[in-house]
Structure 1
Amino acid sequence: MRTTHTSTFLSQPYTQNILNQLNIDITITNNPYSLKPEDLFEMAARINKKRSFLFVSKVLGKHIPIAPSTGLVCGALLADRFLLEVKGEASGKTDTLLSAFLNPSQHYDEDAFVSSKWNPVIIGFAETATALGHAFFNAFTAGDYFHTTREQIADKESIINFEEEHSHATSHRTYIEKDMIDNNREIILVDDEITTGKTAINIIKSIHQQFPRTQYTVVSILDWRTAEHKKEFELLEKELNISIHCVSLMSGTISVNGSVNLDEESAKYETERNEGTYHFINIQSILPNQLKSIPSTSLAEKNSPSYLQATGRFGLSAQSNKSNFPAFREIGAYLESQRAGSRSLVLGTGEFMYLPMKIASYMGEGVYYHSTTRSPIFPCHNEGYGAKNAFMFSNPQDQSIMNYVYNLAPGNYDDIFLFFEREVPNQQLLPFLELLSSAVPNIKVVYLNGEEDI
């Protein structure tokens, strides 16, 4: 086990080749936990004119299936790093967390370890870092958490809006009570990766224009900013008279050589459809009143059930967050009893990532987790490539949006637990189920909130 916690500098670049067309030269300059790049990511080509490649995380639970504990411990490890780098305090849990991170079968302690004297507002970025931000938040004894959202809520006004320039879906909204952010508390922004830092700069400017303060921190698994990008942070600090700390598990620089010109017409998606066995599990009916609802609905789903408070989309205190853990355990224990074999996949949907991941961690051994996504990636069955296969489908919750699932090989699982925050009409869901059934024919659809049993 690698337990060296001083920074490891690896100045010699190494190259990742993508589709024999694109070379990414990577130089790692800071690696505080001595992690190997292959511990954290693979590479893939994006179908996106703004940015042609993607670091496909192996610890996030988005595109690649992971043990659910891996994603949860990843957030805790970032909190451990934040505590040391920004606050100058050792958690006393570094070795334990790192061991659990590198050995997913090992039990980890989910108790908060960041002192209540630190009381930040933590923001996770949709859609990729909603679970990472929440897992990071779990380490805090005090504080508040919310995640940005791409959804438009029917009866609420977004407090902060900003753009993610390289993303496939760019607009972020925040639906929280104003007093959660109208204060002088430190803001911690959590994302899976920083490449240029423009997204972080955009949200800091947006927050500071309305709710100024002095302390900001940007936390990410990977940080690939150049010297020029870091200079932009320094200039923003001077312009706004603020301090911005940046914390990551691995940082360095990247150089891109070559180009790819891909579109969805050239991508080979899985198209076979099968009629599988579908079982619908409405948690609200089976285990009523476990999770609190928020009486709001999406503009895209006007008659759908309410959202859930536990996601953090509308804001969540540390105390409220911890109060949900017993419900997660009970739901996980029930779903474990519904498993068909020794290998199960829990599949989150879009930005609804944390609750499925957390519940999956209570469903027993042999459970893996990842999520659907809006991000189009070019699939290729090459060794070390981040998207071996791909399923493309209309989002059952908003059929105007295309979604994707990657790395779902036939025969890998005995069953799938497909999670939705809210109930979805069967006619909108069935095409997606038929597509998934070509890989895993036994599917349990889990609704955490719904109007009636199915």
Structure 2
Amino acid sequence: MSAGKDEDVAVWPGTWVSRRLGVELAGDEALPGLLGLALRRNPKRAHLLVSTVLGKHVPRSPEVVWRSGYGLGVRVRELLGPEQAARAVVLGYAETATGLGHSVADGLGTAPYLHSTRRPVEGVATAGGFEESHSHATSHLLLPEDPALLAGDGPLVLVDDEFSTGNTVLNTVRALHERYPRGHYVVVALVDMRAPADRDRLTAFAADLGARVDLVTLAAGTVRLPDGVLEKGTALVAAHESASLGADAAAVPVRRVELDWPEGVPDGGRHGFTPAHRARLDAALPAMAARLAEGLGLASVDPEDGAPAPRRVLVLGFEELMYAPLALGTALERRGEAEVRFSTTTRSPVLAVDDPGYAIRSRLVFPAHDDPADGPGERYAYNVVGGGFDAVAVVVDSVADTPALHAPGGLLAQLAAHIPRVVLAVVPSYIPVPVPARVNPSGPVPSASAQGAPMPPQHTHSPGVSRPAEPLRGPAFSSYAPEDVGWLLQDLSHIELEAPTEEREEAVQSGGAHYAESLPVEYQPTEAYQALYRSALDASAARIARAVGTVTESVLAERSPRPVLVSLARAGTPVGVLMRRWAQLRHGLDLPHYAVSIVRGRGIDANALRYLAAHHDPADVVFVDGWTGKGAITRELAAALAAFGGFDPEIAVLADPGSCVRTFGTREDFLIPSACLNSTVSGLVSRTVLRADLVGPDDYHGAKFYRELADTDVSRDFTDTVAARFDEVAALVEADVKELSAADRSPTWEGWAAVERISEEYGIHDVNLVKPGVGETTRVLLRRVPWKVLARHGAGPDLDHVRLLAEQRGVPVEEVDHLPYTCVGLIHPRFTRGATGADGRAVSGAASPVTGGAEAAS
């Protein structure tokens, strides 16, 4: 097998795929020199564009890889001008573009650099996050050491290897603009491969955002795909898949090279990398390259084994750790002692075909060796075997220097089976020192509708609490009995936090505020709507009781015989109360139950987790929610808990129509009546609040207790009505649990796929504005500014209240096929006061004729 030498290959590394599938690249003359084609097993897109200058899948001269990014950075600097370039921040994408983004920052010269990460780091607060829907590991975290790094108003430069649809960039800008609004974004990529419709969408997005968005790339073009390409590509993958190379390799001794990495210099941009760090690293690189050359034996004869000096050397980085090995490889190449190439390992599975016209000639498969947050799995190194290398320097960070790296079948053993000389260089993993949030001298946070300053405001209290406070309980906080639930929250009832629906919706969508910084106005429901709720409860009480029993029995059988129930406030709280009641009435168990806050984009309340860990075994903690929609909170919880040891991120839910979890009462999408109301069915407690001037580093997230609504409170009536049906459904629950125990309950994320499809089909391009399921649709009609409702053909009485609400709010209901949910609520993506939707209907935030008002931010 021969993978060939990258610069010497005359055949375009895309001909193999192009001839068999008819896939073509059209565009700039430079495009074929920047991209090859490969195949992968993927239900959405079988072909894969493989960069020849990124240093990920294809070994390339480190100087060429670095200069590709550096040159883009120089162009950005020229675009911005000296004054704006000095205020810019560069953000790269994990894992593929971490080194590219860092090189772009080098070209800018004065810009600090941060890259997203899929590795949670204990003790480091999440400054934001976003989803990359097409990726193998979709959740990105932003973990800057200095929380002010992203808070400036200078240009933000976003760097990815390929700009294909623009979805990832748009998701990022939305998420960041929501917290840190700014007027200028620059998107940087090696190639721009967007279709014309995607180009138009970016233009419209920038106009809606009210910000300038520029694009800088090396080349542009499109991919031409013939009909049936996905089916043909899938068949080709199936026909050519074979056993992995080197799977039985035995462990061998590997020579270590002590780099003497400069103390205090980060290993990359995971927590931020400043120009001062860059200067210190540049000064240390020649000496580190000399030590690496000595370890590789780049002399006439190796003093240890007497072998000739290597002539062709690979510097192999590790997943997100791209820039440190790239810098070392560049310094090594400049010494001129050997032909040096650079690439890194990756998470992405790609088919290997040993053909000069195919971009991935060989593939090594080995176990993950860094204790990843997503659990054990396979990792890959491409075009290493057969690349003519007689030495390889493996560069990892210290977190990844584990027994799995050195084990038989591990990466080092597999490399040693194919390359005569393997050395290991370990870069110390950087441990951040938290930087205190800067004080905003202007005082309190502006209203939710204001385009406020992005700097965190000053705390209005002393943060000197050394351990989390005791939970709040009724009747002092909430209308539940004190034993029903302990709220790991702080009481903000004395503070005015409410804002009108229309104002909140406009602020949230425009990026002027985060939905958790204010509260919707809590309107008391009219008599007509109370009657609707009561009718729904009477019709579904037994169904809910059955789901409560099923999920509770599953938890007791599979998770813990004495679980600690922790509901996600507030939709999960009535479910947690009912699960506790089932365990008490059916088994005589007195289970602890708490409610905690989790905020989309900002994570779970860390102080609440510390309280739970101090008072209970984390292994017994079971997180509880009402239902799954597209699974955003499921993903949010998994990412947040990765930094805390011992907690199981698997949520137990009453209903799982999105197929996002394993522990559920049902996967049917039906009306849970608690979704019809607000605080009056959830203990008179508001949504949770996370705002920097109110929630300090030692505080729980906040919430309000609406004592004044006691006359309309049905919280206990709801739980009592459902609990009264427990005996009636006991036999059905027993049968359900038996059936589920033998079934494959693995999440399929069918709901997430449907939401992505709907987002694109209806031109929304933001999954956060698509609310799937009966419960979420009800909330859209009650609390947001709805555009339309999609209803499954033939949906029955579960949608009676949805149709009524939609009629009274003037919202069209469109019946569709192939919907995994009973219904889906859509929020218009371009909200403005008095705006109209695509069908001409008004989408303003007029008060609901049923409730007298609407609540924003579900």
Instruction: Return the match for 1:145 from 91, 108, 113.
Output: 113
Q: Is the 8 A contact 1:420 1:446 kept in 2?
A: yes
1:291 equivalent in structure 2: 263
Offset at 1:316? 1.7
Question: C-alpha separation between the residues in 1 aligned to 2:244 and 2:163?
Answer: 29
Instruction: Return the match for 2:272 from 295, 310, 315.
Output: 315
2:201 equivalent in structure 1: 232
Change (3 A) 1:204 1:427: closer
Q: Is the 8 A contact 2:77 2:85 kept in 1?
A: no
Instruction: Return the match for 1:161 from 123, 129, 150.
Output: 129
Aligned positions of 1:105-184 closer than 5 A: 118-176=86-144, 177-184=146-153
2:169 equivalent in structure 1: 200
1:97 equivalent in structure 2: none
Greater shift in the superposed pair: 268-277 or 403-412 = 268-277
1:439 equivalent in structure 2: 418
Aligned positions of 1:414-425 closer than 5 A: 414-422=390-398, 424-425=401-402
Question: C-alpha separation between the residues in 1 aligned to 2:405 and 2:110?
Answer: 41
1:39 equivalent in structure 2: 33
1:331 aligns with 2:308: no
Greater shift in the superposed pair: 64-73 or 440-449 = 440-449
The letter of the residue matching 1:437 is: A
1:64 equivalent in structure 2: 58
Change (3 A) 1:63 1:223: same
Instruction: Return the match for 2:69 from 75, 78, 81.
Output: 75
Offset at 1:70? 0.8
2:188 equivalent in structure 1: 219
1:18 equivalent in structure 2: 17
Unaligned runs of 5+ in 1: 1-14, 90-113, 293-307
Aligned to 2:118, the other structure's residue is in SS state: coil
Offset at 1:411? 7.0
The letter of the residue matching 1:164 is: E
Unaligned runs of 5+ in 2: 1-13, 298-309, 431-858
TM-score (norm 2): 0.43
Change (3 A) 1:263 1:127: farther
Aligned to 2:296, the other structure's residue is in SS state: coil
Q: Is the 8 A contact 1:46 1:377 kept in 2?
A: yes
String of CA shifts for 1:74-98, please: whole Å, max 9, x gaps. 01221233345x34x7xxxxxxxxx
String of CA shifts for 1:162-182, please: whole Å, max 9, x gaps. 011111111111101221111
Offset at 1:441? 3.5
Question: C-alpha separation between the residues in 2 aligned to 1:21 and 1:384?
Answer: 11
1:369 aligns with 2:342: yes
Offset at 1:266? 3.0
1:279 aligns with 2:255: yes
Change (3 A) 1:222 1:411: closer
Offset at 1:136? 0.8
Offset at 1:234? 1.5
Q: Is the 8 A contact 1:290 1:327 kept in 2?
A: yes
Question: C-alpha separation between the residues in 1 aligned to 2:318 and 2:192?
Answer: 26
Question: C-alpha separation between the residues in 2 aligned to 1:169 and 1:68?
Answer: 26
Q: Is the 8 A contact 1:222 1:248 kept in 2?
A: yes
Change (3 A) 1:200 1:356: same
Question: C-alpha separation between the residues in 2 aligned to 1:117 and 1:428?
Answer: 41
Question: C-alpha separation between the residues in 2 aligned to 1:373 and 1:394?
Answer: 11
Q: Is the 8 A contact 2:363 2:381 kept in 1?
A: yes
Offset at 1:38? 3.5
2:379 equivalent in structure 1: 403
Instruction: Return the match for 1:269 from 234, 239, 244.
Output: 244
Question: C-alpha separation between the residues in 1 aligned to 2:43 and 2:51?
Answer: 21
Question: C-alpha separation between the residues in 2 aligned to 1:19 and 1:229?
Answer: 24
Question: C-alpha separation between the residues in 1 aligned to 2:181 and 2:239?
Answer: 43
Question: C-alpha separation between the residues in 1 aligned to 2:345 and 2:416?
Answer: 15
Question: C-alpha separation between the residues in 2 aligned to 1:367 and 1:145?
Answer: 26
Offset at 1:47? 2.2
Aligned to 1:233, the other structure's residue is in SS state: helix
Aligned to 1:237, the other structure's residue is in SS state: helix
Q: Is the 8 A contact 2:131 2:140 kept in 1?
A: yes
2:792 equivalent in structure 1: none
Q: Which structure shows the bigger proportion of residues in strand conformation?
A: 1
Matched positions, count: 387
Question: C-alpha separation between the residues in 2 aligned to 1:121 and 1:396?
Answer: 32
Question: C-alpha separation between the residues in 1 aligned to 2:69 and 2:386?
Answer: 30
TM-score (norm 1): 0.80
Offset at 1:320? 2.4
Question: C-alpha separation between the residues in 1 aligned to 2:85 and 2:344?
Answer: 35
Greater shift in the superposed pair: 248-257 or 74-83 = 74-83
Question: C-alpha separation between the residues in 2 aligned to 1:231 and 1:377?
Answer: 31
Greater shift in the superposed pair: 257-266 or 195-204 = 257-266
Change (3 A) 1:130 1:379: same
Question: C-alpha separation between the residues in 2 aligned to 1:187 and 1:291?
Answer: 29
The letter of the residue matching 1:187 is: L
Question: C-alpha separation between the residues in 1 aligned to 2:35 and 2:18?
Answer: 16
The letter of the residue matching 1:129 is: A
Greater shift in the superposed pair: 416-425 or 270-279 = 270-279
1:50 equivalent in structure 2: 44
Aligned identity (percent) is 26
Instruction: Return the match for 1:357 from 320, 326, 341.
Output: 326
The letter of the residue matching 1:332 is: A
Q: Is the 8 A contact 1:16 1:24 kept in 2?
A: no
1:384 aligns with 2:357: yes
Question: C-alpha separation between the residues in 2 aligned to 1:19 and 1:268?
Answer: 24
2:806 equivalent in structure 1: none
Question: C-alpha separation between the residues in 2 aligned to 1:446 and 1:385?
Answer: 31
Q: Is the 8 A contact 1:268 1:379 kept in 2?
A: no
Q: Is the 8 A contact 2:251 2:406 kept in 1?
A: no
Aligned to 1:139, the other structure's residue is in SS state: helix
Change (3 A) 1:281 1:166: same
The letter of the residue matching 2:215 is: C
Aligned to 1:178, the other structure's residue is in SS state: coil
String of CA shifts for 1:125-181, please: whole Å, max 9, x gaps. 110110000111112232211011111111112211101111111111110122111
Q: Is the 8 A contact 2:256 2:295 kept in 1?
A: no
The letter of the residue matching 1:436 is: L
Offset at 1:360? 1.1
Higher relative contact order (CA 8 A, sep 6+): 1
Question: C-alpha separation between the residues in 2 aligned to 1:202 and 1:450?
Answer: 29
1:412 aligns with 2:369: no
Change (3 A) 1:267 1:47: farther
Offset at 1:116? 7.7
Offset at 1:384? 2.1
String of CA shifts for 1:44-103, please: whole Å, max 9, x gaps. 01222232221111111101111110111001221233345x34x7xxxxxxxxxxxxxx
2:214 equivalent in structure 1: 245
Aligned to 2:182, the other structure's residue is in SS state: coil
Change (3 A) 1:83 1:427: closer
1:426 equivalent in structure 2: 403
Offset at 1:19? 7.4
Q: Which structure shows the bigger proportion of residues in helix conformation?
A: 2
Change (3 A) 1:367 1:209: same
Q: Is the 8 A contact 1:116 1:142 kept in 2?
A: no
Question: C-alpha separation between the residues in 2 aligned to 1:428 and 1:317?
Answer: 30
Question: C-alpha separation between the residues in 2 aligned to 1:232 and 1:450?
Answer: 40
2:827 equivalent in structure 1: none
Question: C-alpha separation between the residues in 1 aligned to 2:314 and 2:253?
Answer: 15
Looking at CA atoms only, which structure, 1 or 2, has the larger radius of gyration? Answer: 2
